[in-house]
Structure 1
Amino acid sequence: MTSIRRKIRTVIVDDSPFMRKIIADVLQNDDAIQVIATAKNGKQAIETIIALKPDVVTMDIEMPVMDGLEALKTIMQKYPVPVIMLSSLTHHGAEATITALELGAVDFIQKPSSLFHMQGENLKIEMIQKIKAAYQIKVEKNHEVLREVGIEKNTAAVESPKINSTKTKNIIAVGTSTGGPRALQSIIPQIPQNFPGSFLIVQHMPAGFTKSLAQRLNSISAVTVKEAEESEEVLPAHVYIAPGNYHLKVKKSNTDKLLIHLSQEQAVLGHRPAADVLFHSLAEMNFKHMNITGVIMTGMGSDGANGLKELKTKKLAYIIAQDEASCVVYGMPKSAVKAGIVDKIVPLKEIIDIIVKRVGVL
């Protein structure tokens, strides 16, 4: 007897009938996905989720009656289900998307500038892939404890002076994707303000959203968090996030200062920025007097494993991987672990403690 694979039962939430129809048509073209209902606002979405218990929900942000963020809060607190946000590329849209990821949304899809571009082949592929990935994610109730504790714990730190020493002795290179923004919010605000090293972070995100992520993290951290800029010096007690659509690399100045180099070279494994590019860049520099720590965190796919392998082969870095239990998606850390190049596998909450001990912060 042939077994029938169950389809991914999906609910689409959007105030536009046209958008609901377009998204439904795209998703139902895939044999693995079934759109079981649609909703035109957050209130209706909650009612639909309670009644039908879908596997995955796509959620617009700006809607009448109840917007996507308000609905997401209730869903994640009472009826947890993987939610993918649909976000416009505006300053407000990017900020709202970062908030949604903090509240528990598993991922987001950037709306095209024109509704008629919704039929683009790349966007269709992205939507289907993200629905299938979200289906694999186990979502737990979010009582906003992490968010509240993080903000409360770092209120004093935000008011503390941020150092600008010009000598960095340690590089912490981080690669992450799905689940990364929330994971970064758990570790970046815990970096001591006197941290004698620099964080270089690749978070898979489109252009525009990385700036909002950096601003959000900077507002709750003791160190300076910013979107990386071409040719700026890499300073201690600073966190540099690769801008969307740019690879993040390093280079040396004529006076031997370490500088940021942004590149629009070809995407790697479909990503720009890519963690592999950052790790390879560090490996190519052959630092002899720099303490490098490679960190690979939650995310789909295998980006980062090849670059970390080069760092490990050249004996240039200590490598930390986030453990499976604390990952939203265990793809990226799993690939590094399978390659046999990871020195330490730890829960998310322990990553910063290991880094701080390695660099000897007082």
Structure 2
Amino acid sequence: MKPYQVLVVDDSAFMRKIISDLIEKDAEFQVTATAVNGREAVDKVKELQPDLVTMDVEMPEMNGLEALKRIMLDHPLPVIMLSGINEEGMKETILALEGGAFDFIRKPSISSAHDINSVGESLREQMKEAMLERERREARSASALLAAEAPSVPPKPESVPSQSPTKPADKPAGGFEGTTNRLLHRETRISQAPVTSDTAKPVDIKSLNKPARQGDRFKVIPPEANRADGPFKASSEPKAETRAPDASRPKTAAAAGGVPGTPSVTGRERKSGVKGLDKLVAVGCSTGGPRALKAFLEKIPADFPAPIVIVQHMPPNFTKSLAQRLNTFSPLDVMEAEQGMILRKGAAYIAPGGYHMKVTETASGQFAISLTKEEARNGHRPSVDTLFESLLPLDSLERHAVIMTGMGSDGAKMMKSLYDAGIRSTFAESEETCVVYGMPRSAVELQCVSYILPLQDIAPRLVQVVK
């Protein structure tokens, strides 16, 4: 089998050599060329058409972010960003993830052989996942094309199933790739009755066409896909819930040392919305998550009657930059969670990289953030399963769980436990909008998902259910 061709982009000759050596430790990959800046990278992508690109974030002449934008516009392909741990590099990395990068890794410390090897393992894992997803997408496209070209045989009258309110909706006009996408194009539900703890049922996945190989699916989603006027816009949305507040609304940072440039928070402001808290939303995501979280949080109104706790797989420090970035888009106050924070309505809390996040009930009946350094779970710290598990004993709360794009299966097991405990407000992002359909797929396969929705529909429907 011919190895995948990789373009390595970095302004440092030494770093280009390190990254190239790490990549070629796997015989499936070959460094076909290198580039010293973003401008050269754009030209070589056009000329060589590699399978994958590793891209330094900070470079002279044209940085990685600008190069990514041009590549995704003209020649979309998986791009893995290499980021420094300085503040500017982290901010640029978050923007790159919004702009369509598959994922990122931090640059290795050149003084530590252990760190170099660790970064190499992470890089090769991401590259393998990206190629697997591309191949699965191409296979599905080919299958859909063959199905479209097959002669259509009109069904016999007696073979047409009778219509009833409990049947899934008809296939949308235009069709989608295969049975799975036809079922997942809009909300997939067993019943069209309003969802309550008595009527919600898990999606029956037996009717879905499973891929031959377990894994995730890579998809390059154009940046405009998450815009309100983009091609993935839902045909109908609850306007009252999705209307963004006036952009001039003052935002507060609900944590000490909060987002720079925002007003300080007084004790009275911080306590607002705490008393009488009876609802909670928990969200988990990984690869593709920063972009998904942006699309999700910007559609949640400021008067949302529940706090939102979020686990995004990301290293330490990057989560703070992510929270600051998301805070500029969302009507909610978005912050990196801190130990002991009291949850309040109208706020979203992102687990800090390197810490598990749990929700606990205080002696006074309030609900607070608990951060721990327990062992990684499912290979991650923070872990979605750890967050979801902490919700199990909180039966005084109306709990809602959401899993969006990401590699692996983190969160699925504990979503199943929540579902088995009677929680029927469980959401998963559908395959059509996932960058990687791993974590949501795992939850769907455990039959514990009440709503399977494309990304742009998750927030509006969640608002309906919670309110």
Q: Tell me, yes or no, whether TM beats 0.5.
A: yes
1: CA distance, partners of 2:384 / 2:18:
33
The verdict on how the C-alpha distance between 1:79 and 1:237 changes in structure 2, with shifts beyond 3 A counting, is: same
Shift of residue 36, structure 1, vs aligned partner = 0.8
Residue matched to 1:138:
219
2: CA distance, partners of 1:50 / 1:355:
42
Q: Any idea what the Cα deviations from partners look like across 1:278-323, whole Å, max 9, x if unmatched?
A: 011111x241x32111101100001001111111111135211100
Residue matched to 1:255:
364
Q: 1:309 aligns to what SS in structure 2?
A: helix
Q: 16, 23, 27: which one pairs with 2:19?
A: 23
Q: How much identity, in percent, do the aligned residues show?
A: 44
2: CA distance, partners of 1:208 / 1:161:
22
2: CA distance, partners of 1:332 / 1:296:
7
The 8 Å contact of residues 110 and 116 in structure 2, kept in 1 or not, is answered as: no
Q: 1:10 aligns to what SS in structure 2?
A: strand
In the alignment, does 2:300 pair up with 1:191?
A: yes
1: CA distance, partners of 2:248 / 2:407:
32
Give the alignment of 1:52-201 within 5 angstroms.
52-114=48-110, 116-117=112-113, 120-135=116-131, 136=133, 137-142=218-223, 146=227, 156-157=246-247, 159-160=249-250, 164-166=272-274, 167-201=276-310
Residue matched to 1:328:
435
Q: 223, 228, 231: which one pairs with 2:340?
A: 231
2: CA distance, partners of 1:120 / 1:305:
32
The 8 Å contact of residues 376 and 383 in structure 2, kept in 1 or not, is answered as: yes
2: CA distance, partners of 1:145 / 1:301:
24
Q: 1:168 aligns to what SS in structure 2?
A: coil
1: CA distance, partners of 2:95 / 2:360:
34
Shift of residue 138, structure 1, vs aligned partner = 2.9
When you count helix as a share of all residues, which structure comes out higher? 1
Give the alignment of 1:274-313 within 5 angstroms.
274-283=383-392, 285-287=393-395, 289-313=396-420
Identify the range of structure 1 (270-279 vs 16-25) with the bigger mean alpha-carbon deviation.
16-25
The verdict on how the C-alpha distance between 1:208 and 1:315 changes in structure 2, with shifts beyond 3 A counting, is: same
Shift of residue 113, structure 1, vs aligned partner = 4.0
Give structure 1 stretches of 5+ with no counterpart. Answer: none
The verdict on how the C-alpha distance between 1:148 and 1:56 changes in structure 2, with shifts beyond 3 A counting, is: farther
Shift of residue 34, structure 1, vs aligned partner = 1.3
With the length of structure 2 as denominator, give the TM-score of the two structures. 0.72
2: CA distance, partners of 1:180 / 1:55:
23
The 8 Å contact of residues 214 and 241 in structure 1, kept in 2 or not, is answered as: yes
Q: 1:120 aligns to what SS in structure 2?
A: helix
Q: 1:226 aligns to what SS in structure 2?
A: strand
Give structure 2 stretches of 5+ with no counterpart. Answer: 134-217, 231-242, 253-268
The verdict on how the C-alpha distance between 1:147 and 1:217 changes in structure 2, with shifts beyond 3 A counting, is: farther
Q: 444, 447, 451: which one pairs with 1:337?
A: 444
In the alignment, does 2:460 pair up with 1:348?
A: no
Q: 2:432 aligns to what SS in structure 1?
A: helix
Q: 1:330 aligns to what SS in structure 2?
A: coil
2: CA distance, partners of 1:344 / 1:154:
23
One-letter amino acid matched to 2:365: D
With the length of structure 1 as denominator, give the TM-score of the two structures. 0.92
Residue matched to 1:43:
39
Shift of residue 115, structure 1, vs aligned partner = 5.4
2: CA distance, partners of 1:341 / 1:111:
38
Shift of residue 144, structure 1, vs aligned partner = 8.2
Shift of residue 72, structure 1, vs aligned partner = 1.1
Shift of residue 118, structure 1, vs aligned partner = 7.5
2: CA distance, partners of 1:57 / 1:155:
39
One-letter amino acid matched to 1:159: R
When you count strand as a share of all residues, which structure comes out higher? 1
In the alignment, does 2:422 pair up with 1:315?
A: yes
2: CA distance, partners of 1:323 / 1:143:
18
The 8 Å contact of residues 26 and 124 in structure 1, kept in 2 or not, is answered as: yes
Shift of residue 348, structure 1, vs aligned partner = 0.4
One-letter amino acid matched to 1:264: K
2: CA distance, partners of 1:37 / 1:15:
14
Q: Any idea what the Cα deviations from partners look like across 1:224-248, whole Å, max 9, x if unmatched?
A: 1000110110111110000000001
Give the length in aligned residue pairs. 352
2: CA distance, partners of 1:298 / 1:41:
30
The 8 Å contact of residues 98 and 223 in structure 2, kept in 1 or not, is answered as: no
2: CA distance, partners of 1:249 / 1:236:
17
Shift of residue 169, structure 1, vs aligned partner = 2.2
The 8 Å contact of residues 319 and 336 in structure 2, kept in 1 or not, is answered as: yes
What is the RMSD of the two structures over their aligned residues, measured on CA atoms?
2.1
2: CA distance, partners of 1:6 / 1:261:
49
Structure of higher CA gyration radius: 2
One-letter amino acid matched to 2:246: A
1: CA distance, partners of 2:222 / 2:426:
31
Q: Any idea what the Cα deviations from partners look like across 1:62-118, whole Å, max 9, x if unmatched?
A: 112211111111111122111111001111111111111111111000113445447
Q: 1:129 aligns to what SS in structure 2?
A: helix
2: CA distance, partners of 1:19 / 1:104:
23
Shift of residue 32, structure 1, vs aligned partner = 1.1
The 8 Å contact of residues 154 and 220 in structure 1, kept in 2 or not, is answered as: no
The 8 Å contact of residues 385 and 410 in structure 2, kept in 1 or not, is answered as: yes
Shift of residue 330, structure 1, vs aligned partner = 0.3
1: CA distance, partners of 2:364 / 2:432:
45
The 8 Å contact of residues 77 and 143 in structure 1, kept in 2 or not, is answered as: no
